[in-house]
Amino acid sequence: MSGSDSEIQGWKARHADYQLAAIVQSSFDAIISKDLGSIITSWNPAAERLFGYSAEEAIGKSILMLIPQSNQGEEKEIIDRIRRGEWIESYETVRVRKDGTSVLVSITVSPIRDQSGRIIGASKIARDITATKESERRIRMLLREVNHRVKNQYAVILSIISQTRKRSRDPLDFEAQVRERIMALARSHDLLVSSNWSGAALSDLVRQQLKPFRRDRSIDASGPPLMLTPNAVQYLGMAFHELGTNSAKHGAMKGHEGRISVTWEVERALEPSLFRLSWQETDGGIQAGESGKGFGTFVLLRIAPQSLGGEAQVERTNGVLTWTLTAPLDAISDG
């Protein structure tokens, strides 16, 4: 090789070294090298951020200072494998920071060779996976919660199908009622999805469930701001749908003069605190409508109150239909 070729090769080698050094220095992952005696020989800025030791504090010390006492057997196994020239696949483990706190890390280890190819140490890349593991934990928890809620929804849908079948006049009537009731569940579900299943405001639920009947001007809803639990959203949503359906067919929302008032209050002075809700409908809903044996009545007097640990009643007197529900506040709202 000529002198100029040798110079070019030397320049390329130095340039590659500079590039590698720049990559190591700017890496977001901790990059550490050590000799075969487990003594740290290099330490990049990310290692300082992750473990808390400066390069001056770490270089020349044993890598064991980062390994919990219970895990120190790992290091001998790693060094033995490195001596054999093995590539060690990434693995997850625990390391200890300067302040004594533990950190979950993903580690990749590979041999370091000299110019003759002889193994003289190991390069270790460590990545903090604490946030990743927390995200995985939350996803698993969310999936369990979703699974639980989906099973609950299945149970409610099966109950709707079963009870509607018993009270339907013919297959077309059955199909229409099941479709409407499942769509009502979907409207409640939309509110829950928009809040990441944390619940929904009671006022929003009233508006959402009565929206298909398009009689907002004949409906008054008032009460203190109240965030419902997901369970309360589901069962109160079913009740509002049945009340709205009956009103649209036989009551206030069928004509132009009827009025509906939905009011609620909370009594925190009692032990336990109580929630009271009233649906009051004038000029309709009592002359015709359900006889008291329909699915709507079943929802209002059994399904909704029992699911919320409360009691309910329906009264039809003097042109007024009133449905009242009383339940423990903690079954209605977490707040």
Q: What angle do CA 11, 26, 59 make, to 5 degrees?
A: 85
Question: What number of CA atoms fall less than 13 Å from residue 224's CA on the CB side?
Answer: 10
Strand 311-317 and strand 320-328: the pairing is antiparallel
Q: What is the pLDDT of residue 288?
A: 42
Q: What is the rounded CA–CA span in Å between residue 45 and residue 299? A: 64
| Element at 264 (helix H, strand E) | strand 259-267
pLDDT averaged per 10 residues, the chain (length 335): 54 48 66 93 93 94 94 91 86 94 93 90 92 88 78 81 83 89 91 87 94 74 94 95 89 78 92 93 56 79 94 89 95 87
Q: What is the rounded CA–CA span in Å between residue 205 and residue 184? A: 11
Q: What angle do CA 174, 309, 296 make, to 5 degrees?
A: 20
Q: What is the rounded CA–CA span in Å between residue 118 and residue 135? A: 42
Q: What is the rounded CA–CA span in Å between residue 254 and residue 266? A: 31
**What are the φ and ψ backbone dihedral angles of 281, each rounded to 5 degrees?**
-125, 125
Peptide bond between residue 272 and the one before it cis (omega within 30 degrees of 0): yes
Domain 156-332 fold is Heat Shock Protein 90 (3.30.565)
Domain 3-128 fold is Beta-Lactamase (3.30.450)
Q: What is the rounded CA–CA span in Å between residue 197 and residue 191? A: 8
Under 8 Å between Cβ of 78 and 88: yes
Q: What is the rounded CA–CA span in Å between residue 286 and residue 133? A: 58
Q: What is the pLDDT of residue 188?
A: 93
Distances (CA, A) of 226 to 172, 199, 201, 229, 329: 38, 10, 6, 10, 10
Q: What angle do CA 93, 96, 101 make, to 5 degrees?
A: 115
Tell me which residue of 299, 280, 187 sits closest to 233, measured CA to CA.
187
Sequence ranges of the chain with CATH classification 3.30.450.20: 3-128
What is the three-class DSSP state of 157? Answer: helix
Q: What is the pLDDT of residue 16?
A: 47
Sequence ranges of the chain with CATH classification 3.30.565.10: 156-332
Query: What residues pair up with 122 in beta bridges, in sequence order?
Result: 34, 111
Q: What is the rounded CA–CA span in Å between residue 130 and residue 292? A: 58
Show the DSSP H helices in the chain as ranges: 3-26, 45-51, 55-58, 73-83, 130-167, 171-194, 202-210, 230-250, 295-298, 304-307, 329-332
Under 8 Å between Cβ of 199 and 228: yes
Q: Please, what sign has the CA dihedral across residues 304, 310, 314, 320?
A: negative
